[in-house]
Amino acid sequence: MAKNSSQNFVPIREIRSGVIILNSGNMRAILSTTSLNLSLKSEDEQMGIITAFQSFLNSLDFNVQIFVQSKKIDIRDYIKSLKEREREASEELLKIQIKEYTDFIQKFTEEQNIMTKNFYIVVPYDIPTLVGNTKRMNEMDFIKNENQLMQRVSIVVSGLTALGLKLKLIDTEEIVGLFYKLFNPNELDVNTKKL
């Protein structure tokens, strides 16, 4: 029995200039976004944000997909740096405090499921079927369709920026990394050394 590559199950033809081109020829762009904690807002602020978000969604004449990626935090580098600081500390009291803190962090993360969340908005542009989008797109068609996609991206960015979110269009390298993480969920990659 022949082994199937995971690429056979992913409907992506290519990723070019930060744009995902599906096997169908349709295009997708991905925005990374911050989040809002509504629990920290007053009731009036919550209602204002919810109403504004609803108005934003109702104003769109295309679908968007909201994607949340949860990933367990890898603290190994952070623990390693704490142990180095403990070894380098000149005062005994400081060594004891660093060791107790390191032990606490290790125990806490073993008992609790510490996760990081990344938020993404997928913006689509479906090419009209008359174009014959089953073949590889030439550069002129790509630019024309990319411009249409980027107009949609601009609409999404301006609508969500008005809610207080910060958005960034992710590039080709980040898209490849995102898909790698999606298909390799057990790999820990969040570096907390700079905490």
Tens digits of per-residue pLDDT, 140-195?
A: 888 999 999 999 999 999 999 999 999 999 999 999 988 888 887 776 554 433 43
What pLDDT is stored for residue 3 in this prediction?
Answer: 55
* Cβ–Cβ < 8 Å for 40, 167: no
- 130 band by pLDDT with thresholds 50, 70 and 90: low
User: Which two tokens mark 146?
Assistant: 């990319």
What pLDDT is stored for residue 194 in this prediction?
Answer: 40
Residue 73 in 3-state DSSP? coil
Q: Which whole number is the average pLDDT over 87-113?
A: 89
Q: Of 58, 51, 32, nearest to 171 (Cα)?
A: 32
Q: Which whole number is the average pLDDT over 91-111?
A: 90
Q: Taking the domains of the chain in order of start, what are their residue ranges?
A: 6-70+117-183
What pLDDT is stored for residue 127 in this prediction?
Answer: 86
What pLDDT is stored for residue 158 in this prediction?
Answer: 95
* Cβ–Cβ < 8 Å for 77, 181: no
Q: Of 50, 40, 37, 15, nearest to 173 (Cα)?
A: 15
Q: Which whole number is the average pLDDT over 16-28?
A: 92
167-169 vs 115-125, strand pairing mode: unpaired
* CA Rg value for the chain: 22
Average pLDDT value over all residues in the chain: 86
Find the helix packing angle between 92-111 and 76-88, rounded to 10°. 170
Q: How far apart are CA 22 and CA 13, in angstroms?
A: 5
What pLDDT is stored for residue 192 in this prediction?
Answer: 36
Counting Cα atoms < 13 Å in the Cβ hemisphere of 103 gives 6
What pLDDT is stored for residue 195 in this prediction?
Answer: 36
Type of residue numbered 145: N
Q: Which whole number is the average pLDDT over 14-24?
A: 91
What pLDDT is stored for residue 141 in this prediction?
Answer: 85
What pLDDT is stored for residue 116 in this prediction?
Answer: 85
* Cβ–Cβ < 8 Å for 153, 161: no
Q: How far apart are CA 134 and CA 11, in angstroms?
A: 12
* Cβ–Cβ < 8 Å for 148, 164: no
Q: Which residues contact 190 (CB under 8 A, 6 or more apart)?
A: 71, 72, 73, 74, 116
